[in-house]
Structure formats: C-alpha cells, structure tokens
Structure 1
C-alpha cells in the first residue's frame, strides 16, 4: 500500500451492511425472492470493495422474510469476488450458535479471505433461533455470557479445556483451523442497555452501537459505561474500539433524499413492527422529525451525512461507521447509487477530518 493510499484510508473506517429483509417495494407491491436478494447483496459487496469502502457485513435471521441465515457462507462467497474489504457478521446471534462451530466457520472465512474476517456478536432482535436450535429463551442472557466466554478462549488458544452449563465440556480439544489473523476481531452489538455496554468493556472487545434514530447524545451513557468498565478491567483505552451503525439513504440533495426514502423507510418499519405483532404507520411528519439534522438517522445529501457522522465523531470518538442502506424493498439501483455516494462524496471527507 503506497503513501497516497494510506492517506486515503486513514481516519475512521466506513462501510455498509445488510440484514437481507425481503420487503415488497411500496410502489409496485413486488418483492424480490431470496435468490435474487442474495445476488444483489453479493453485488453490493463487490461495488463497496471496488469503491474503496472498508467493511461489508451481513446479519443473521431465521425467518422466511429474510434471506440470510448463514453469514459466514455468504461472506465466503463475497470473499471470492473482493480484494480488500473486511467481512463481518452484523450480527451473529451468539446465544444460539455453538461457539466452536462459530469459530471454525469464521476461521475458515479468514483463510479464504486472506485475513479479512470479523464477527459482531449480538443477542438478536428476534427469538426464532432459540426453539430452532433447542435453546430456552429463559437462558437468553446466560447463554450469551457463556458462549462469549468460550469463544474468547477458542480465539486465544489452539488447544482448549473448558467446562460450562449449556454444552458438553472440552478436554484438550484441538480448535482448528486457525485463522490468518492472530485472533479473529470480535465486537459486541449493543442496542440500548448500559449493562451490555459495560460487559463489552469488561471483555475488552469492540462495541458496535445500533443508532437507529433520535438524539445521538442519548447513547453517551453506553459509550461511557463501555470505556469505564474496560479501563477498570485493565484494558488499554486505545484498544476499546467503538463503532456506530445506522440506517442511511444518500441522494444529491437532502430534500430529494427524504422524498425518495420516506416510502421505503415507512414500509420497512411497518414490516418490522408487524413481525413483532404491532401496528404502526410512519407519517410524513414522523419521518421529517426522524430525519432532522440533529438526529442519528443518516438521510440526506452527502454534506448532511458528513455533518452527522462528524458530529457523532466529536461526541464519541468512534473508529468505525457502518450504514444499512438496502431496506424496505429499496430497488438495487438506488442501493448502488448510495454506495457510490458514500464512497466518493462522504468517505473521503470523513476520513480526512477524522485523521487529523
């Protein structure tokens, strides 16, 4: 990597992620099938890599209205057509996956991708995976804690002896294959609980905050709890990496972005809330408030997005920003346009300003 390229990629990392929802387009009522959605996700990753973005992620769901249930498989396919972009889960439902299988899958992805694999682990927004894989939702938190404890040991040691409550014990078990990286980078995805943030700090892993709207200041207690707990546990503050994730739509002007995105964003939340048994319709006034300049919803012109990211950087000093752009039945050509604007109009300015 030359000096000029290093300069381009200094500052915070910027990327995109997909949860692969299968929403009908609100204008046509038509929805792409899972196969087409998968092709579009892989193509989006290729575009992001070619445009110079830093991270691409896919999330895990176990429902017919989402296309991705196996992030490492999808990311392995993406690894074959990309060169440098980091590949992460966003998120892995850690409570209901065997940590040994998780490590093996992502270590294999790391070998395939030449050291680009990462994991963002979370507890999941839905509970379908608990009965699907034979777990009890009453053990929601205990499972997450135990699985994280074991994963960190697997990540550190080639031969592991371990005993826990929810899986069979390990006795001098070979943990193979080993990744290209010394250890797989692991982050914890946090929505809104201070205790989850503090736990990520105590573990010394990265923390990715899902900022889906509202005043960014309301997330400051999470950041403070994360860093305070991490330092108290003996971790170097510099190694406590913080990321911000959020919904985004970029167009040439802010008014155009809001006009184009409102039908899809309203559609997305109607879809998600129906899944949770709630009736909800986002009005135009609701959306205008949610997309106002002082909120955490990244909708607007490239300049508006830059300003929002930099405002949050001033607050949190985070290392990474990842945008979810393909939601609510948004046609792929609009997703592709957003990737291009993020990479060419937003990322260079943000990187320059955050590298000072």
Structure 2
C-alpha cells in the first residue's frame, strides 16, 4: 500500500510513504514464512524505507494467521531504533476494540523512542476479528468508535483528563503518561467513504486519511473539500489529507506498469 499525504494550507507539500498489513509471504522455495520471520522482515522493510528517503512507514493492525500484526507499535519501535528520518505510525489502530489510554501510552512511548517521529491513524478497521478477542459486541460498533475517539481526543491534550462514557471506566482528573516529544502526537482518522465520518474527523481536529481499498479513486475527491469545509465550520485549523491506496513496487516504473 502507498500512503500519500497532501498539505492543504497552500504550501503544496506532498509526502510519500508505505503502509503494510504484514501479510505472510513465501520464501524462494515456496515455504510460508513463520510469523517471526514475517515480523523481522517488516523491520527490515521499515529500515529500507528510511534508507531510500520515504517519509512514512505504517503498519496496520490485524489478528489473523495470514496477517499476524497485532502489536504494530512494538515492530515500529524496532524500526525506530535503526532509523533517523522516517515517521512511524499505524494504518490503522482499531480504536474500537482497544483502550484509548493504552493506545495513547504506547504511541507516546514510541514517540519517545523515535525522537518525536510517531503518528497514529485511528479507525474501525476493515475487518472485525479483534472484537471477539477482546470481548466486545459488534452491536456496539458505532458507540465504541464514537466514545473511544472522543476520549483519545482528550488524551492528546496531555493534561489531566475528566471523561465518562458507557464503554470503559470514567477518568476523574487523571494525568496520563508519558507525554510526547512534541506535545501532541499527529493523529489521523481512516475514513472509507462516509461523509459523516469525514465531518466527525474535522469536529475533533484530526487529520483525514482516505482509506481507498478498491474502486474508483476519483469518487473520494469530494471528501477532501468536505473535510476543509467542516474544519472551517468547527473553527479548527486546516489539516492535511492523506490517501491510502494499493500500490505496486518493482525495479523500474516500466516493469511495475507491465506487471
């Protein structure tokens, strides 16, 4: 997957990166790699991405035999220890079935390890295998996402948090540590095509990541305009828009097009 981020402020900045779900692949003899080999390969992929000058490297959360990346932040910390430039994040973190406090703490820790290079993309996820693993009911799908997104927005302020909801215990003036290097971890919300989700992302002041898994990419263009309009309506500063889309890498452009 490729990750393109565009700065809408007028500066015209475009950043390029790689997203991966950590799929298990085969070796030269056709033998499926072990989960450990797959994870170590991801570390090398992140190091190579930094070496060739890419801006971002992100790992999606999954909990399956063919995509065993259930702890992306640990893999990203390993990449951080061997890199110096590339920004490191999730693509996505399934916030609905996780604890927002622990997500914040893990990525604030990654931010410290990497010297301020951590980012996080929050999302519902394109699959739901994490819900039964952690004891969540899919009937609560909407409420889980809305409440946990709301709490994460409060945690990003890095001030004592008072919050209450139905999906986790309340917080009463509690401080959450560690603090990040920059004072605010760059946070995106992965949106798959819902205008309501675009507006909600703007409401919380997060950046927008358009998760294009398939179909015509042109249909996502109006969401960028809607996002900027919603930011203005909510009195939020302008935020970048990212595009997550399938990509193919080969030795040359010609070879990639042919394949």
Assess same fold via TM > 0.5. yes
Larger CA Rg, structure 1 vs 2: 1
Q: How do 1:133-172 residues align onto structure 2 when only pairs under 5 Å count? A: 133-172=134-173
**Deviation per CA, 1:320-350, whole angstroms, max 9, x where unpaired?**
xxxxxxxxxxxxxxxxxxxxxxxxxxxxxxx
In the alignment, which residue of structure 2 is the partner of 1:19?
21
SS in 2 for 1:250: coil
SS in 1 for 2:64: coil
**Deviation per CA, 1:235-265, whole angstroms, max 9, x where unpaired?**
12xx3210011111133244x32554xxxxx
Q: Distance in 2 between matches of 1:32 and 1:128?
A: 22
TM-score (norm 2): 0.89
Q: Distance in 2 between matches of 1:253 and 1:90?
A: 25
Q: Distance in 1 between matches of 2:156 and 2:211?
A: 25
Matched, 1:96 2:97: yes
Cα gap change, 1:259 to 1:24, in 2 (>3 Å): farther
> Following TM superposition, by how much is the alpha carbon of 1:216 offset from its aligned partner in structure 2, in angstroms?
2.6
Provide the aligned length of Structure 1 versus Structure 2.
Answer: 247
In the alignment, which residue of structure 1 is the partner of 2:182?
181
Q: Distance in 1 between matches of 2:213 and 2:139?
A: 27
In the alignment, which residue of structure 1 is the partner of 2:256?
257
Q: How do 1:36-75 residues align onto structure 2 when only pairs under 5 Å count? A: 36-75=37-76
**Deviation per CA, 1:113-150, whole angstroms, max 9, x where unpaired?**
11011100110111111111111111111111111111
Unaligned runs of 5+ residues in structure 2 are 1-11
Structure showing the higher helix proportion among its residues = 1
SS in 2 for 1:201: helix
Q: Distance in 1 between matches of 2:23 and 2:203?
A: 33
Higher relative contact order, structure no. (Cα contacts within 8 Å, ≥ 6 residues apart): 1
Q: Distance in 1 between matches of 2:245 and 2:213?
A: 5
**Deviation per CA, 1:296-327, whole angstroms, max 9, x where unpaired?**
xxxxxxxxxxxxxxxxxxxxxxxxxxxxxxxx
Unaligned runs of 5+ residues in structure 1 are 1-9, 261-356
RMSD: 1.8
